[in-house]
Structure 1
């Protein structure tokens, strides 16, 4: 069975994606603070801002594909902690793109609809970005860097999501 690495697997989207993906993949889910229990998901603790840890995980797991969901996703946190959030949202994303490029595996990145200002919806992927928050700016920068480093990266701009909390 092919191996899928999902960063940010303890978050809402990550956990639900891992649950769904385990039907067809051997799933490895990275977490930083909140390890979850799931019978068929291999959770691995990783600081995505640490390139050495990322390289080690890539060497150990040898993923066939990566879905990068890990993020500092609260706009207020990003505004109040610009350096820390930049490391998580931009630097780590570029590093993950590079690691995927090195072994030529699919790389999917979740961005946000907050790359737009919200004044002219519905947006198309070709519409110019115009973020109004530091979080949106970071996601734009991450998209740009990832595509420069690894043009095969797939960018998914996710809108507001809701549902049951992954932590129960």
Structure 2
């Protein structure tokens, strides 16, 4: 069975993807802070911002394909912690692209629909990017660097996702439900149109 390395395996999409992929792949999921337990998924701790650690993992696992999901995905965190989030969102992505290029294996990267400002709907993948948040800017930079380093990289710009939460990462729907259960007021944006999709379907 071929080997698949999924970075960010304890995140919302990573968790769903690992559950789905184990049917056809020998799955290795990377984590940094939150290890999950699974009989069929091999979890490995690695700092994806450290290329030496990543290189060691690549040599040990010898993956046949990589799906890079590890990210600092909360826009407010990125805005307040620009240096730390840059390392995770941009530096790590470049590291992954280089190591995949070295062995010429498929590399998939999840970006975001926030690379666009939302003013010129609907968008095509060839449309010019226009991020308005630091998170969006970082994802644009990551896309550009990965394609320069490894032009075979496949980029998927993800919208909001919902579905079964991982033990450490919930979808936005879970936050809504928690707020309602607590009888609190829910504050949302009023100037955006979003198209949520199932995390399992995206997997």
- TM-score norm. by structure 1 comes to 0.96
Q: Distance in 2 between matches of 1:122 and 1:42?
A: 40
Q: Distance in 1 between matches of 2:41 and 2:50?
A: 23
**1:20-78 deviation line (CA, Å, top 9, x unaligned):** 00011000000111111121000001111111110000000000000000000000111
Q: Which structure has the bigger radius of gyration?
A: 2
Shift of 1:121: 2.2
Written as runs of structure 1 = structure 2, the 5 A alignment for 1:99-114 is 99-114=99-114
Q: Distance in 1 between matches of 2:156 and 2:49?
A: 21
**1:94-119 deviation line (CA, Å, top 9, x unaligned):** 01000000000000000000000012
For the residue of structure 2 that corresponds to 1:141, the secondary structure is helix
Q: Is the 8 A contact 1:36 1:167 kept in 2?
A: no
Shift of 1:84: 0.6
Query: What residue in structure 2 maps to residue 26 of structure 1?
Result: 26
Query: What residue in structure 1 maps to residue 131 of structure 2?
Result: 131
Q: Distance in 2 between matches of 1:143 and 1:74?
A: 18
Shift of 1:8: 0.2
Shift of 1:147: 0.1
For the residue of structure 1 that corresponds to 2:6, the secondary structure is strand
Q: Is the 8 A contact 1:101 1:150 kept in 2?
A: yes
Written as runs of structure 1 = structure 2, the 5 A alignment for 1:31-110 is 31-110=31-110
Shift of 1:91: 0.6
- Spell out structure 1 runs of 4+ moving beyond 3 A: none
Q: What 5-or-longer segments of structure 2 have no aligned partner?
A: 164-200
**1:123-148 deviation line (CA, Å, top 9, x unaligned):** 11001100000000000000000000
- TM-score norm. by structure 2 comes to 0.79
Mark the CA change 1:40 to 1:100 in structure 2 (over 3 Å): closer, same or farther: same
Shift of 1:120: 2.0
Mark the CA change 1:95 to 1:47 in structure 2 (over 3 Å): closer, same or farther: same
The answer to whether residue 6 in structure 2 is matched with residue 6 in structure 1 is: yes
Shift of 1:122: 2.2
For the residue of structure 2 that corresponds to 1:152, the secondary structure is coil
Q: Distance in 2 between matches of 1:122 and 1:44?
A: 40
What is the aligned-residue RMSD (CA, Å)? 2.3
